[in-house]
A and B are shown apart, each in its own frame.
Chain A
Amino acid sequence: MELEIDRTEVLRYLQSSKDLEDDNINRLIEEATSEIKKLINFRYLYQKFPIELSEDGIKVKGTTLTLKGKSIKKHLNNSKEIYIMAATLGAQVDKKISYYEKVSVTKSMIFDACATTAIEAGCDQVEAEIKEEVLAAGNEDITFRYSPGYGDLGIEIQKEILRILKAPKKIGLTASKYNMLIPTKSVTAIIGVITEKTEVDHQAEDRIDRGNENENLEERDLEFETRHCKNCILYQDCELRRKGIYCGAKG
Chain B
Amino acid sequence: MELKDKLGNQIILFDGAMGTVLQQRGLKAGDVPEKLNIEKREEIVEIHKSYLKSGAEILTTNTFGANALKMKETDYSVEEVVSAAVQNARQAVIESEIEAAVALDMGPLGELLEPMGSLSFDEAYSLYQQQVLVGVEEGADLIHIETIADLYEARAAVLAAKENSNLPVFCTLTFEEDGRTFTGSSIHSMISVLEGLGVDAIGLNCSLGPEKLEPLVEEVLQYSKLPVILQANAGLPVVENGETVFKISPAEYFKPIARLYEKGLAVIGGCCGTNEEFISLIAENLKNKKVKEREIIKESLACSPSQSVNLAGVNVVGERINPTGKAAFKEALRNGDLDYILKVAVEEVDAGADILDVNLGLPEIDEKKVMVKLINELQGILDIPLQIDSSNPEVIDEALRYYNGTAIVNSVNGEREVLEKTLPAVKKYGAAVIGLTMDDEGIPTTAEGRFEIAERIVSRAAEHGISRDKIIIDCLTLTASAQQEGVRETLRAVKMVKEKLGVKTTLGVSNVSFGLPARPVLNRTFLAMALYQGLNLPIIDPNDVEMMAAVKAAAVLNNIDQGAAQYIEYMSELENKTESESEAEEDLTEKNDLQTVIIRGLKSESARLTQELLKEKEALEVVNEYLIPALDMVGERYEKGDIFLPQLVQSAETVKEAFSVLKEEMARTGGRDITKGKIVMATVKGDVHDIGKNIVKTVLENYGYQIIDLGRNVNIREVVNAVVENEVQLLGLSALMTTTVKNMEKTIKAVRDKAPECQIMVGGAVLTTDYAEMIDADFYARDAKEAVEIAKKIFAE
Contact = CB atoms under 8 A, between A and B. Distances in A.
B584 to A, nearest CB: 10
Contacts of B765: 234, 236-237
Contact of B686 (A98, A149, A177): A177
B330 to A, nearest CB: 20
Contacts of B739: 155, 178-180
A147 B657 CA distance: 41
B698 interface: yes
Contacts of A176: 111-112, 117-119, 686, 688
B239 interface: yes
A17 B740 CA distance: 31
Contacts of A99: 346, 381-382
Given A112-B691, A182-B117, A236-B766, A174 B30 contact: no
B134 interface: no
A182 B712 CA distance: 14
Contacts of B117: 174, 176, 182
Contacts of B694: 101, 105, 108
Contact of A15 (B600, B602, B644): B644
Contacts of A75: none
Contacts of A90: 182
A169 B343 CA distance: 35
Contacts of B181: 172
A14 B645 contact: yes
Interface stretch (B400-408, B453-461, B508-516, B646-654): B646-654
A125 interface: no
Given A63-B29, A65-B30, A95-B381, A101 B691 contact: yes
Contacts, number: 181
A24 interface: yes
A3 to B, nearest CB: 18
A105 B174 contact: no
A174 B346 CA distance: 29
Given A62-B28, A105-B694, A25 B647 contact: yes
Given A91-B183, A176-B119, A102 B381 contact: yes
Interface residues of A, number: 63
B529 interface: no
Contacts of A5: none
Nearest to B206: A169
Interface in A167-188: 168-169, 171-172, 174-180, 182-184
A62 B645 contact: no
A48 interface: yes
Contacts of A49: 242
Provide the main secondary structure of the chain B interface: loop
B29 A62 contact: yes
Nearest to B651: A106
B108 interface: yes
B118 A180 contact: yes
Contacts of B182: 41, 43, 90-91, 171-172
Interface in B679-733: 686-691, 694-695, 698
Contacts of A20: 644, 647
Nearest to B241: A48
A65 to B, nearest CB: 6
A101 B694 CA distance: 8
A24 B766 contact: no
A223 B50 CA distance: 65
Interface in A227-244: 233-234, 236-237
B650 A174 contact: no
A164 B181 CA distance: 21
Contacts of A168: 108, 110
A109 interface: yes
B29 A237 contact: no
B257 to A, nearest CB: 21
Nearest to B180: A41
Contacts of A216: none
A163 interface: yes
A98 B30 contact: no
B10 to A, nearest CB: 31
A105 B688 contact: no
A248 B228 CA distance: 54
B119 A177 contact: yes
Interface in B72-110: 73, 108, 110
A178 B108 contact: no
A190 B182 CA distance: 24
B108 A109 contact: no
Nearest to A171: B182
A134 interface: no
B738 A155 contact: yes
A17 B691 contact: no
Interface string B571-608: 00000000000000000000000000000111000000
Given A169-B206, A174-B112, A176-B117, A64 B653 contact: no
Interface string A141-169: 00000000100000100011101100011
A232 B28 CA distance: 35
Nearest to B641: A17
A191 interface: no
A230 B217 CA distance: 56
A49 B242 CA distance: 7
B686 A24 contact: no
Contact of B110 (A97, A174, A237): A174
Contacts of B367: none
B689 A184 contact: yes
A47 B649 contact: no
B111 A92 contact: no
Contacts of B111: 174-177, 182
B184 A237 contact: no
Interface in B1-60: 28-31
A103 B206 contact: no
Contacts of B242: 47-50, 62
A184 B116 CA distance: 9
Given A174-B111, A177-B111, A178-B737, A109 B695 contact: yes
Interface string A209-237: 00000000000000000000000011011
A157 B647 CA distance: 38
Interface in B171-185: 174, 176, 181-184
Contacts of B346: 99, 102-103
A237 B734 CA distance: 14
Nearest to B242: A48
B690 A110 contact: no
Contact of A183 (B116, B272, B600, B652): B116
| Shortest 8 CB-CB contacts between residues of A and residues of B | A172-B182, A237-B765, A16-B644, A164-B30, A178-B739, A178-B686, A64-B30, A99-B381
6 contacts: A28-B646, A105-B691, A109-B649, A180-B687, A180-B737, A236-B765
